[in-house]
Every structure is written in C-alpha cells, then in structure tokens.
Structure 1
Amino acid sequence: MTKTSILCMTVAASALFANAALAETELTVYTSVEAEDLARYAETFNQDHPDIKINWVRDSTGVITAKLLAEKNNPQADVVWGLAATSLLVLKAEDMLAPYAPAGLDKLSANFKDSDTPPSWVGMDAWVAAICYNTVEGGKLGMTAPTSWMDLTKPEYAGHVVMPNPASSGTGFLDVSSWLQIFGEDKGWEYMDGLHANIAAYTHSGSKPCKMAAAGETVIGVSFAFRGAKSKAEGAPIDIIVPSEGVGWDMEATAIIAGTAEEEAAKTLLDWTITPKAMEMYNVGYAVVGIPGIAKPVEHFPEGITEAMIDNDFEWAANNRTKILEEWTKRYDTKSEPKG
C-alpha cells in the first residue's frame, strides 16, 4: 500500500469519526408545538449545536401531558420543548422535572419562568384566546359579530360555534380555566352550559376552530389570536375579536425531565431555548415572547389584546386540572370530534 493510499484512508477515517462525533448525542424531545414548525426549530437550533440531534415526539397538549404522566416511573423523554406551562406545573407537582437555571434567565419576563430557584421550567412564548368570526358566512345568515364571551350563548349562534376540547388542547384548557376565573366557578359552568347548546363540535386542535372559520366551515371559531392573524393575512374573511370580559392565555414552556441520561445536552438545549435567537424564531408563530423588546409587530394581530389578558392563576389551573377536565368531559364530551 502506498503512502498516498494510507494518507487518503487516514483522512477519510478522520472525517468519518468527525461526522460521527457531530451527531453523537440524541435527545428525545416531547412537544405540542405546531407540526409545521418542528423542522424549523431543529434546524435553527442545529445551526449553533450541530452535535445534538433532536428526535421529536409530537402531539396535542393533553395527549403529551397524559403520555408524560403515564411514563412517570419510566421516563422516555429527555426534554419537553413547547408544552403549556399549566401542564408543566402538573409535572412539577409530580417531581418529574429537573430544576435548572439556564444561561440568560435574568433576561426573561418575570411571568415567563417558574417561581422557584432554580426554576423547574422556563417560558418561550404566549398564546392568547380570541374569537375568529367569518364575516361572509355570518352576513349570509344575518348574524351580528359577537363582542363578548357571553354573546356566544345567544340563540342566533346555535350550531355555528366550534371550540377546542380542553382535555386534548392547551387552547381549550386555557379557555375553560379562564372562564372559571372570569365568571367564578358556579357561573363559569353555567356559562359553559349555555355555550354547549350552541356548539357544533369540540376539536382536538387549538388552531382548527379558527382554520374552520377561515375556510367558511363554521361562522365562529374559538381559538387563539395569532392563528386568526395568520389566516387573515392569507386572505380569509375573518375578524379577530377580543371578548370584552378579558381573555385567557398560556405560555409554551420548556423543561428537563428528571433522570435523563443526557443531562448536559439537555441543559445545552434549555440554554438555547431562551436565547434572543430562539425568541426571534418563536416570533414567527407568536406575537408575545419571553424576552421583552424582541417581538416584532404581527400583521392583523388585534389591538389591545395584551391589555385584555387576565391575571391568569397558573398554579390554580394546574392544581385543579384533573377536576376541571373530569367535570367538563362529563358535561360536554358528547360533541367532541372523534380522536385520531
């Protein structure tokens, strides 16, 4: 064998080992981030950390939360990147999260991080409830646009309202938990009884009701404001309505699962999820992000919505999650779409 051949083999072997090292660490990451965004999230992260491969496990908020709880004694995830803070508080109460103070924590808004030191989770972005109203379909039926949550119980809207199921959708849960806070528990359930009479279907996706309204498949979709703004920017004939009583909201948040065998890589990911670069990435899909001053204005995002966000008691919502969902399911689940 010539010296040239040996040199070529050595170079090839070195390149092979280098490439193997670059993708040596894999993280199993559970998420409820919109499926269309996952490739972009991983690609942007890998620009800075090409040595960590993300294996996504994605489903709706309720399904991911239930899956994590079912795996409590045999965790399969290393990190949760993009799950409702109310869900992470449930996991925290079960001692399933590994407290960690990521680099840059001091730059986050106070309400975008767990109150403990070190925190068990950190926030990414917030999504805010809103009503998507199809002006064309509503006009055909001689309807007037609602201005409040209470308006949705009016007889004229019977069969023309779609909203998310709170057991499967984080948006649905923030709706229900916020109504119980806005109206009080007794009046809140009374309100939902009236609303249920007008519901055509409960979806298992928080964005679907607005997409249905945008497509003219329903007149009213209870969803979140950014989805409405995106649909309107695409030409949909919808108004995005901020109900006068105030609106519920939740934040997507990130945490390390206790007991992960890839702790250092998990910490690297958590550090990155609250960087300005990550916040700019979230701003593509959300108008409110965890670091103040980064979010750029979003076309058609309704004015005054941040002022309408209620003082959401996340601890109360998390501590009462099981009870709320059991009661809701008992009362209303008959109108839920089939799962699958």
Structure 2
Amino acid sequence: MAHAEPLARLNVLCGVDEAWCAAMKDAVRSRLSIDATVKRRSTGEILDQVRSEKADPQTDVWWGGTGDAQLQAASEGLLQAYQPPSTAVMLPWADNFFDLSGGRSAGIYAGALGFAYNTELLKQKGLKAPACWKDLLDGTYADAIELADPNSSGTAYTALATLVQLFGEDEAFKFLSRLGANISSYPQSGSAPVKDAAHGDTLIGISFIHDAVTLRQAGYPLEIVAPCEGTGYEIGAVSIVKGAKNLDAARAFVSFALSAEGQATGAAAGQNQVPSNAGASLPPGAPDISMIRMVDYDFATFGSADERRRLLRRFDNEIRGIP
C-alpha cells in the first residue's frame, strides 16, 4: 500500500479577517498539499515580528493587511523578490504596487477607507448622522467613536496618512487632536472599531468599508459612509519573507493567492474587498470604489519606513500624549 506524500510546511502571518485566514489555510491544504500554520496579526504587529526575526526568519509568507507596511519591509531588505505567473493578469493598481515594491510585494485586493455608525444607537441618542470627516468633530459624539492605534493597525495608519493627504499635515493633526475628545478607545486591530459599532459598544467605527459591508450583510444595524471630503484606500498585499525556510511552498502560496481561484476564497469567506486579478469575480457586496471620491494615495511616501516612523512618533506625542 502506497504512503501519501507528506504535506509541505509553511508559516504564514495573515493580516486579513480571521474567516479568510482560515479559508485560505484550508484551500492551500486541499489544492497545494501545503500544511500552513496561519497566524492572524494586525499589520503593524506583523511588520514588527518580521523585523525582529530578520536574523533567523520564522515566517515564510506575509499575506494580507495594508500594503504600505509591506513596502516599508521591502525597503528595509526584509522581503524577497519573486515573479509569480499571475502578475500578467493583475489590474493596473496592482501592477503599479508590484513595481513600487521592486517585485517584492504583490497586491491582492483594494479597499476604501470610511466609517460606519450603528443606526439603532444613533436613533436612541437622537443624533444627526455623520456624512463627512469633519462631522466626527461634533461634540455630540463625545466618547462615541473608535479609531484603532496606527502603531499596530494598518487600517488606522491608512487613516492617518489619508487625513494628512486630504488636509495637509498640520491641519490633519489639529483634526486628530479635536477628534481625540470624541474617541472612546484606540484598539489594536483595525477591524475592531466597526465590529464594536456593529455590536453597539460604540456609535461610530472608522474602518475599511468592506469590513463594514461584511458586518451589515450579517444583519448588524450599520450605515456605511464614504466621507464627503474624500478618502484613502489600501492595497492589501502578499510577500515572501527574505530567508524563508520553506521557499518552494511560499512561492506556491503566493502564486495561488494571486490567482482568480485563490482570490475567490475571500468572497467565499464572506469578505468584500476588490480583487486584484482581472479574472476574479467581484464579491456582490464589494463597494464600487469608482463611485467614491478618493485621494491620489501616495504609497511611495507613506510606504516609506522613515515617514511612517515620523508620523507615528508625532501621533504618539501629540494625540496620545506618549513621549
């Protein structure tokens, strides 16, 4: 009786929703015969871990989460160049991202930033619905808004960079200082604010719109807002860590993650990001980002390690009061 070939091993840090992390783990096991250890972390936490493991990498693949942090890792020599076959069918924004990374990180999805509010809580409190970033400064929303901590959350770092690009840096920090009076907490995870809004633990959660769509589809009383002034967006990405110990499996994982079949695992797991593969089907609930007023997001600048450190230091000093 023939023995089955042992499964290839792989260590993956996952920056998307837990449901998609689990679906991808199952998919690569069945389709690629890869036994992947998949750990869910926020984007900033993954960047910190990959940096800390530089001398002896324990991670093979960084999959998902905001791509500007992966651009920073690429610039620091933490990621390995790889030319997957699927880049030939990538949408233009993903092609641009791949080129910007020096071929070290590939875009797998896009998603616009916004916020969502709990319609039942809003009605109970008798408050006016917010439509713009500046509406969030209204004193009637005191202790009723959540924004994640941009040190750990790629979503919140995207919000910080978005506000800087919308208003200019000094005005953006004035805005964040005033917003701070209405912030009840700065959780670590970027999806936590909108999950808390869905459950009625806060009124308004600042998040990526696709995360709010997923919760609304699940029946939560959320109204989703693309702010009137305009907003930023993320390109979620996948990368191979330099020095990966399971390189062949890592390459196979990345190729699958960029394929139409691999990207369909997102919709199957209830996710609503816009896939980067031109042959992938758009999830029915995915927001039409062509209808949202978007900033011309400067990934080169805000994906720079020096710029990230500088902005986070200013955020900690001026907004959080952390020296």
Equivalence for 1:71: 53
* Correspondence for 2:320: 333
Counterpart position of 1:161: 145
Return the alpha-carbon distance in structure 1 between the equivalents of residues 211 and 227 of structure 2: 16
Structure 1 gap ranges (5+): 1-10, 336-340
Q: Does 1:323 align with 2:314?
A: no
- Give the structure-2-normalised TM-score: 0.91
Identity of matched residues, %? 27
- Superposed, 1:179-198 pairs within 5 Å as 179-198=163-182
Matching of residue 35 in structure 1 with residue 18 in structure 2? yes
Which stretch of structure 1 is more off in the superposition, 326-335 or 235-244? Answer: 326-335
Question: Distance in 1 between the 2:315 and 2:181 partners?
Answer: 14
DSSP 3-state at the match of 1:130: strand
Structure 2 Cα separation of the partners of residues 98 and 297 of structure 1: 30
In the alignment, is residue 96 of structure 1 matched against residue 65 of structure 2?
no
Cα 1:238–1:117 change in 2 (3 A) is closer
Change (3 A) 1:218 1:121: same
- 1:292 correspondence with 2:278: yes
2:89 matches 1:81: no
> What secondary structure sits across from 1:174 in the alignment?
helix
**Bigger radius of gyration:** 1
Amino acid in structure 2 at the alignment position of 1:317 = F
Q: RMSD of the TM alignment (CA)?
A: 2.0
Matched residues in 1 for 2:10 and 2:208: separation?
A: 30
Alpha-carbon displacement from aligned partner over 1:11-51 (angstroms, at most 9, x marks no partner): 2xx32xxx2x231x21111222222322210111222211x
Q: Secondary structure at the match of 1:223?
A: strand
Per-residue deviation, residues 54-88 of structure 1 (Å, max 9, x unmatched): 11233111111111111222221111122321111
**What pairs with 1:137-216 in structure 2 (closer than 5 Å)?**
137-216=121-200
Q: 2:293 aligns with which of 308, 320, 323?
A: 308
Superposed CA deviations along residues 196-226 of structure 1, whole A, max 9, x for unmatched, are: 1111111111111112111222111111212
Compared CA separation, residues 63 and 287, structure 1 to 2 (3 A): closer
Write the mapping of 1:211-226 to structure 2, written as runs, cut at 5 A: 211-226=195-210
Which residue is 1:228 aligned to?
Answer: 212
Query: Once the 2 structures are TM-superposed, how far is the Cα of residue 309 of structure 1 from its aligned partner?
Result: 2.9
Unaligned runs of 5+ in 2: none
Over 3 Å counting, the alpha-carbon distance change for 1:297 and 1:308 in structure 2 is farther
Asked whether the 8 Å contact 2:20–2:265 carries over to 1, the reply is no
Mapped contact 2:110–2:275 kept (Cα < 8 A)? yes
Change in CA separation of 1:36 and 1:334 when aligned onto 2, cut-off 3 Å: farther
Distance 1:83 1:54 in 2: 18
**Whole-angstrom CA distance in 2 between matches of 1:204 and 1:305:** 30
Counterpart mapping for 1:255-294 below 5 A: 255-283=239-267, 284-292=270-278, 294=280
> Which TM-score applies when normalising by structure 1?
0.87
Q: CA deviation at 1:175?
A: 0.6
Deviates more, 1:215-224 or 1:230-239: 230-239
Give distance in 2, aligned partners of 1:306 and 1:77. 38
Paired position in structure 1 for 2:233: 249
In 1: Cα distance, 2:15 partner to 2:316 partner: 21
For this pair of structures, how many residues does the alignment match? Answer: 316
CA deviations on 1:154-178 (whole Å, 9 max, x unpaired) are 1111111111111111111111111
